[in-house]
Structure 1
Amino acid sequence: MSSLNIVVVGGGAAGFFGAITAAETFPEATVTILEKTRTVLNKVRISGGGRCNVTHACFDNRQLVKHYPRGEKSLRLLLNQFDAATTVSWFEKRNVSLKTEMDGRMFPATNTSETIVDCLLNTARRLGIDIRTSCGVSSLIRDEQGRWQLHLLTDELIIADRILIATGGYPKVDGYSWWPEQAEPLVSPVPSLFTFNVPDSPLLPLAGVSVTDAKVSIVGTKQEQNGPLLITHWGFSGPAVLRLSAWAARDLANTDYRFLLRINWIPALNNNELRNKLQDFRQQNGRKLVVSQNPFGLPSRLWQAFASEAGISDIQRWADLPAKPLNRLAEQLTNSQFQVVGKSTFKDEFVTCGGISFGSLHPETLESKDQAGLFFAGEVLDVDGITGGFNFQSAWTTGYVAGLNIGR
């Protein structure tokens, strides 16, 4: 009897983790990874500014799943098999130690993603996994014997007993056209994790200026997030904006990324509280210039921009500041509004909201309910997290679960 032939489509984090787990769990099987591009693990290489944000130091799974705008319930079940603590242990057993940063993100102690890439590549090679690049699949068909025919873009035909699809997310539905005709239920894909384009923002000259805490919200909705905010050459970025883009991904797609963004630059205070603080500051610092003294620790260039927008001159002293410009300044600080007219992908860390519905899969194995022998893992599923290592954690988890069950 010939050995089981397992083919993994997609050479990213989930694909490699699925292939490695399958090869370790079913040593008699032949395992092959097919990657469409010329190199594997591309996202692993570039993520976290080239350091690879492997996971997040959140070891309570009930808390961990709260960082996923979609897929929370299904992922909670899967984390019982492979969670963040297991991820840390998995890499440590292979001589890769991880370090935790102040915000909970975990990186390799070496501070380079190549450590993670080398670990996965070396483990795969040691297990005899065949890694093939420039091997795109043009169609996937089940034959009369129940085996899978993979037709490659090179006209090559590969026959497999089991398939793991770990291609990552497709930005458009037609990206899934090579799948079997009786395709899985698909949640229409839209982008997640993106920055906001505000070409008319008066703050564009301040590109590079950031604040440690701001509240960003979408006018007319309940969507809001707090966190660090970065002014860019095209608008706004930073963790607060990226988190907002993830949680509101579908709402924003429906607006064609044209919406009104509200920013409270001092989120600890509402407008009345902030006005009172400005009044107190005026009484205590009357002789000082408004543009050179601010009570909130904001970057000086940003404070000066707000003062200018409020009609406050460079020679205006606090003691002589009339009520109207003070009120305008308070409004600027607590209720800045900007017209967003588009989005930009966050660096190269593209994430898709949508994909294969968990409802079409066996919840504890990630095998298709309708098509035996067809498994799914990673971002191709309808699960996505905010930034901070959460998307890689779902890749390790789903890859592991699929690989653990694919040879049964």
Structure 2
Amino acid sequence: MKDNRLVVIGGGAAGFFCAVNAARMAKSLEVILLEKSSKLLSKVKVSGGGRCNVTHNAPDILYMSKRYPRGQHFVKKSFGHFFVPDTIQWFRERGVALKAEPDGRMFPVTDSSQTIIDCLLREADKHRVQIRTNTAVSGLEKTADGWKVLLQDEPPIETKFVFVAAGGYPQADKFGWLQATGHEIVPPLPSLFTFNMPGNPIISLMGVSSVAAVKIAGTKLQEQGPVLITHWGLSGPAILRTSAWGARELAALQYQFTAIVNWLPDHNENSLREDLQSRRFDLGAQKIYNKNPFGLPQRLWQFMLEQSGVAEEARWADLPSKEQNKLIKQLVAMECPVKGKTTFKEEFVTCGGIKLSEIDPNTMESKLCPQLYFGGEVMDVDGITGGFNFQHAWSSGYIAAQSIADKMG
């Protein structure tokens, strides 16, 4: 048995971060990284539209931890060891500067995910991490003083330490090889997804985006932010955040529910009614269709008017109360029946995974199996969109690497 070996399972953000940092901190450690596919860091590549949303410019750990629908208490502890400023500094020391956008998302100044990928690959090369792609793990076997990593088509690898960063599995049965180590799996479900509204006339506005408040009828779920109309329904940050917070609740509804959208989040029905009354006096002679007074995208405004039965030639002074009532409903309480979901491919995340009570947040080591560590999405931790899932990946990878290096002495 190689007592100076670490096998990292998974070639994503958490796996790479553990591998390169463990190899750097413990010079005598032999690090082997296994990736089942032919692609390394595939999520890093596509994140943020190919720019890589590395982390989030959070003011403190408490603020950050509240952006995780599952795992809040866990990350609050782990972020005490490696947090956003540490991530920024780690990349800066390796020639990669990050910048914050107004919404808090942080990207490399190059606006290219390849910058992050190249940095991690350089580090792996510098610290002699052995990378093996197209290598699928079929199981883990405990040995007297370490582990045997079983591979599908190759001989097993004996090792002292194992770091599992295999990502989230959409089906519970895929976790079987980890369950066999004695760990409990919280059933996995999609966490970031868009709302399907087949046949709804609003999909004719695909590409239109506007800030709105979204709530799910019959639940406490409510979010505000940009909403994007797509050719299948609704997407955008407000929808994705709603889906993350409601992952289990919406699954229980079999993704059949009503989303109520307020396209004017500063208004409710009463305040909008008063507002429209004053506009009938102030803008009386103007055609309603020509220009909307709320700063909405023009296509969205005209759609609302059509749905409310407002005549194309109508002027503000002529707006009948029946049509006005319909318009108010369209603007601040549009009912959108949702029938199904679409996985948001770019930031696909599952909730569920290894039960957190079985992992030490200060080391990422299993409480059940010594020298077995976990990182990233394989655990029951998931954040909303905006760089939160990557920060958890960097933090868990780094903390595990530190713990392993400490054990190496």
TM-score by length of 2: 0.97
Q: Which moved more, 1:149-158 or 1:296-305?
A: 149-158
The residue that corresponds to 1:40 in the other structure is 40
The residue that corresponds to 1:164 in the other structure is 163
Contact 1:139 1:180 in 2 (8 A): no
What residue identity is the alignment partner of 1:232? T
- TM-fit CA distance, 1:354: 1.2
Determine whether 1:359 maps to 2:357.
yes
Tell me the distance in 2 between the aligned counterparts of 1:262 and 1:200.
17
Tell me the distance in 2 between the aligned counterparts of 1:273 and 1:320.
20
Tell me the distance in 2 between the aligned counterparts of 1:2 and 1:134.
23
What residue identity is the alignment partner of 1:155? E
What residue identity is the alignment partner of 1:257? Y
Tell me the distance in 1 between the aligned counterparts of 2:110 and 2:99.
9
Summarize the alignment of residues 184-333 of structure 1 with structure 2, pairs less than 5 Å apart.
184-211=183-210, 213-333=211-331
The residue that corresponds to 2:369 in the other structure is 371
The residue that corresponds to 1:78 in the other structure is 78
2:189 aligned counterpart, secondary structure: strand
1:195 aligned counterpart, secondary structure: strand
Determine whether 1:66 maps to 2:66.
yes
2:75 aligned counterpart, secondary structure: helix
Q: Which moved more, 1:239-248 or 1:343-352?
A: 343-352
Can you list the C-alpha shifts for 1:334-377, whole angstroms capped at 9, x where unaligned?
11111111111113321011111220112311111111111000
Q: Which runs of 5+ in 2 are unaligned?
A: none
Contact 1:70 1:353 in 2 (8 A): yes
What residue identity is the alignment partner of 1:201? N
Tell me the distance in 2 between the aligned counterparts of 1:331 and 1:387.
29
Cα RMSD after superposing both structures: 1.3
Can you list the C-alpha shifts for 1:282-302, whole angstroms capped at 9, x where unaligned?
111111111123221111111
Q: How many residues align?
A: 406
- TM-fit CA distance, 1:104: 1.3
The residue that corresponds to 1:108 in the other structure is 108
Summarize the alignment of residues 2-13 of structure 1 with structure 2, pairs less than 5 Å apart.
3-13=3-13
Tell me the distance in 1 between the aligned counterparts of 2:277 and 2:291.
13
What residue identity is the alignment partner of 1:245? S
What residue identity is the alignment partner of 2:204? P
Tell me the distance in 1 between the aligned counterparts of 2:168 and 2:5.
25
Contact 2:203 2:231 in 1 (8 A): yes
Can you list the C-alpha shifts for 1:105-143, whole angstroms capped at 9, x where unaligned?
111111111110000011011101101000001121113
1:176 aligned counterpart, secondary structure: helix
What residue identity is the alignment partner of 1:349? E
Contact 2:49 2:346 in 1 (8 A): no
Q: Which moved more, 1:16-25 or 1:173-182?
A: 173-182
- TM-fit CA distance, 1:2: 5.5
1:339 aligned counterpart, secondary structure: strand
The change in CA–CA distance for 1:233 and 1:180 in structure 2 (over 3 A counts) is: closer
Contact 2:75 2:361 in 1 (8 A): no
Q: Which moved more, 1:363-372 or 1:220-229?
A: 363-372
Can you list the C-alpha shifts for 1:17-37, whole angstroms capped at 9, x where unaligned?
111121122211111000000
Tell me the distance in 1 between the aligned counterparts of 2:320 and 2:362.
66
Can you list the C-alpha shifts for 1:125-176, whole angstroms capped at 9, x where unaligned?
1101101000001121113x23312221113211111100001111111111
Q: Which runs of 5+ in 1 are unaligned?
A: none
Contact 2:350 2:377 in 1 (8 A): yes
- TM-fit CA distance, 1:3: 4.8
Contact 1:141 1:180 in 2 (8 A): no
The change in CA–CA distance for 1:180 and 1:382 in structure 2 (over 3 A counts) is: closer
Contact 2:196 2:341 in 1 (8 A): yes
Tell me the distance in 1 between the aligned counterparts of 2:35 and 2:233.
35
Structure 1 runs of 4+ with >4 Å offset: none
Tell me the distance in 1 between the aligned counterparts of 2:204 and 2:249.
29
- TM-fit CA distance, 1:200: 2.7
Can you list the C-alpha shifts for 1:228-262, whole angstroms capped at 9, x where unaligned?
11110000011100110111111011111111110
Contact 1:88 1:98 in 2 (8 A): yes
1:178 aligned counterpart, secondary structure: helix
Tell me the distance in 2 between the aligned counterparts of 1:2 and 1:314.
78
Contact 2:147 2:159 in 1 (8 A): yes
Contact 1:15 1:399 in 2 (8 A): yes
1:163 aligned counterpart, secondary structure: strand
- TM-fit CA distance, 1:180: 5.6
What residue identity is the alignment partner of 2:175? Y
- TM-fit CA distance, 1:321: 1.2
Contact 1:351 1:384 in 2 (8 A): yes
The residue that corresponds to 2:148 in the other structure is 149
- TM-fit CA distance, 1:181: 1.8
Can you list the C-alpha shifts for 1:62-99, whole angstroms capped at 9, x where unaligned?
11111111111110111111000000000000011111
Summarize the alignment of residues 107-146 of structure 1 with structure 2, pairs less than 5 Å apart.
107-143=107-143, 145-146=144-145
1:59 aligned counterpart, secondary structure: coil
Q: Which moved more, 1:147-156 or 1:15-24?
A: 147-156
